[in-house]
Chain A
């Protein structure tokens, strides 16, 4: 039982490049989340999904797109990377039922030069 797996763990991009971060969970959770965490800061919600085929904006959605084509996967895309998107990205999932905790991945460390 792997829990929440994020791919890749590290990546360096040049400004303007695009990439996709993958989050996979094997717990059959309905809800999935993407957060970013800048140095010394808390986590900020980028986008989230309450089910397959549905996504919603969080606190800081600009510059990112997401897709949830399969229940177990939640993809975060950067179409044209900017230095301001240098951060650690965390994915999380949880059951739809009330008072269910989030389960987090180990993060993807992304640097944009």
Chain B
């Protein structure tokens, strides 16, 4: 399984764009990249997933360079309610990558200030 590395913490202010980068140097050809958000006392919830280039939904954008060894979660105009822990996972792909085993890293604690 590919290991992921993220910054432990980040600070931002309301209204700013926040970019959180995740390194996954050993990503396999079949692996997807998935990001989750976790609020205190709650289970993680899915934010966005991608395989290559750029993916955008109503909540965030995910940028994946051609070599796929890293990915960047972009949160536009954050608010106080975006204060949470953000996790990047690699795996969950097809064929030999879909073993079912999914490992979380330490995550990035984002603190949004007023």
Residues of A within 8 A of B (CB): 4, 31, 33, 35, 41-45, 48-50, 56, 58-59, 90, 92, 94, 96, 98-107
| A98 engages B104 (CB within 8 Å) | no
| B46 engages A101 (CB within 8 Å) | yes
Q: Which of B36, B44, B85, B92 contacts A98 (CB 8 A)?
A: B92
In the bound assembly, the distance between CA atoms of A42 and B9 in angstroms comes to: 13
User: Which residue of the partner chain B has the closest CB to A32?
Assistant: B100
**Least Cβ distance of B51 to chain A in Å?**
8
**Chain B interface helix/strand/loop/mixed:** loop
Interface size of B by CB at 8 A reads 28
| B43 engages A100 (CB within 8 Å) | no
In the bound assembly, the distance between CA atoms of A80 and B104 in angstroms comes to: 26
Identify which of A35, A45, A99, A105 gathers the most chain B CB atoms within 10 Å of its CB.
Answer: A99
Q: Return the CB mask of B83-113 against A: 1 if under 8 Å, else 0.
A: 0010100001110011111111111000000
Query: What total of A-B pairs shows CB separation below 8 Å?
Result: 69
| B106 engages A98 (CB within 8 Å) | no
Instruction: List the B side residues contacting A31 at CB < 8 Å.
Output: 100
**6 nearest A-B pairs in the assembled complex, by CB-CB distance:** A104-B43, A101-B46, A98-B94, A43-B104, A50-B100, A42-B106
| B103 engages A102 (CB within 8 Å) | no
In the bound assembly, the distance between CA atoms of A102 and B43 in angstroms comes to: 10
Instruction: List the B side residues contacting A58 at CB < 8 Å.
Output: 101, 103
| A106 engages B101 (CB within 8 Å) | no
30 A–B contacts from the bound complex (CB under 8 Å): A41-B106, A42-B87, A43-B44, A43-B87, A43-B104, A45-B101, A45-B102, A45-B104, A48-B100, A48-B102, A49-B100, A90-B44, A92-B43, A92-B44, A96-B100, A98-B32, A98-B93, A99-B32, A99-B49, A100-B92, A101-B34, A101-B46, A102-B46, A103-B46, A104-B45, A105-B43, A106-B42, A106-B43, A107-B41, A107-B42
